[in-house]
Structure formats: C-alpha cells, structure tokens
Amino acid sequence: AQSVTQLGSHVSVSEGALVLLRCNYSSSVPPYLFWYVQYPNQGLQLLLKYTSAATLVKGINDFEAEFKKSETSFHLTKPSAHMSDAAEYFCAVSPRGLTFGKGITLSVRP
Amino acid sequence: NAGVTQTPKFQVLKTGQSMTLQCAQDMNHNSMYWYRQDPGMGLRLIYYSASEGTTDKGEVPNGYNVSRLNKREFSLRLESAAPSQTSVYFCASSEFRTAYEQYFGPGTRLTVT
C-alpha cells in the first residue's frame, strides 16, 4: 500500500521568504515521489520527481525537494517566494500508479 | 504537440442525464487515467487503463464507465448523473503505469443540478 500525508491545507508566506511545504509518504516498496503544482483553473503540472537517483532533486522555478528515507519525507522548498508561486501543490507517491496527497494552497503576501 | 486534451471544458447536466467526457493524448503513452478533484479531497482515481485494451477500477468508480477507444483516446461516461458527481474531472496519461510521471489535461468542470 502507498499513501501521502500533506499536513495543513494552507501556507502563507511573504514575498521573498522561504517556502517549505511538507510531505510524508508511506510505501511498502521503494517509492518514486513527485510534486505537482496546480494554478487556478488549470491542470496539474509536474514540478519535480525523485526516482531513486540523487536524494536532492531540483525542479522548475527554483523549487527543490529532498528525499529522506529515515523520515519518510519529501518536503518541497524554495529559497525566495514570488507572487507567481501562489497555487495549490500536490505531493504524490508511486510505483503503483500515483497516490496524491490532499494538496496545500500556497499564498504569497506582498 | 498538444499533450492531453479534454472536451468539453464546462458542462451542466440535470440529474439523470448522461454524458461522455472525451480525452486524447498525442504522446504515444500506454497508460491513461481519469480523476475527479473535489475541494479538500485532492485527486481521486476513478478508472485507469494501464494499456490499450485494458481498464481497471480506481478508488471511486461507482456511477462511471470508461472506454479505451484506441491508444490515444480514453472516454469517461456518466450514465445517470447525480449531484454528487459535480466535480472537476481530469484526464492524465503516462508512458507506463508503474513509476512514471503523469501528464494532465486542463480539466472538465461538471455541474449536476
């Protein structure tokens, strides 16, 4: 079985501040992990993915995530938030298809 | 290269009416999926097709049927729409079901009154 937990439904940061979105997973086999972003009224777009190579994964728009097996975590970070980062973010785990977390809405204050 | 396309973008149905949501991909992917997205629930898998000629139930299949028409196209049918099926529906595709990232269409916003 596989599952994802994204704690909290909403995160608010100031423009220029660090973004940290948390994701914990459960998987009975070595996982593949993904972060997706959804802008208002759009489909989901892949931000980055972990597929058992480097544990620190870099994605688009300066986002990165680190796979920590001991903590079963795959948290998403960005050093400096931009207004355009306001969106909903989903963590997902594979390999048995994709199981999504419930999503976190990121707001960016001017 | 359009990726994953869905039609229609918006639809309003009355309870009991039927309709088919269409999805097509041009990436030569083997696997295709239908999800529904509801506030606070994330994405829930309705049906998937791991390869052409196969379909399987996902987490919330009741009230839906699917057809994998060919490698490119995967349709979702609501035979008798209910207000509980008001949702945003996303189609996705991936090279294979196991371990690969999925590519999503723009979604269909369905309201059942």
Number of A/B CB contacts below 8 angstroms equals 45
* Distance (Å, whole) CA B113 – CA B110: 10
Strands A104-109 and A10-14: parallel
Give, for all 110 residues of chain A, the pLDDT tens digit. Answer: 789 999 889 999 999 999 999 999 998 888 899 999 999 888 999 999 998 778 999 999 999 999 999 999 999 999 999 999 999 999 999 877 888 999 999 999 99
B/e letters for B3-34, b = 16+ CB within 10 Å, e = fewer, are ebebeeeebebeeeeeeebbbbbeeebbbbbb
Question: Which has more confidence, B89 or A31?
Answer: B89
| Binary contact (A102, B42; C-beta < 8 A) | yes
R_g (Cα) of chain A, nearest Å: 13
Identity at B3, one-letter amino acid code: G
Spell out which residues of chain A touch residue B40, defining contact as CB-CB under 8 Å: 9, 102
What proportion of chain A, given as a percentage, has pLDDT over 70? 100
| Binary contact (A101, B90; C-beta < 8 A) | no
Which residue of chain A has the CA closest to B38? Answer: A102
H helix or E strand, kind and range, residue A9: none
Say what the pLDDT of residue B39 is.
Answer: 86
Say what the pLDDT of residue B48 is.
Answer: 94
B105 touches chain A (CB under 8 A): yes
* Distance (Å, whole) CA B15 – CA A39: 30
Closest Cα in chain A, distance from residue B87 (Å): 13
- Peptide bond before B61: cis, by omega within 30 degrees of 0? no
